[in-house]
Amino acid sequence: MPKCHLWIALTLAAGIAPAQAETVQVTIDRLVFSPATVEAKVGDTIEWVNKDVFAHTATVKGGWEVMIPPKKSASLTLKTAGPVDYFCRFHPNMKGRLVVAP
Helices (H), 1-102: 3-15
The architecture (CATH level 2) of 20-101 comes to Sandwich (2.60)
Domains in the chain: boundaries: 20-101
pLDDT per position in the chain (102 positions), as tens?
A: 444 443 344 434 444 455 688 999 999 999 999 999 999 999 999 999 999 999 999 999 999 999 999 999 999 999 999 999 999 999 999 999 999 999
30: left (phi over 0), alpha (psi -120 to 50) or beta: left
d(CA 25, CA 47): 5
pTM: 0.81
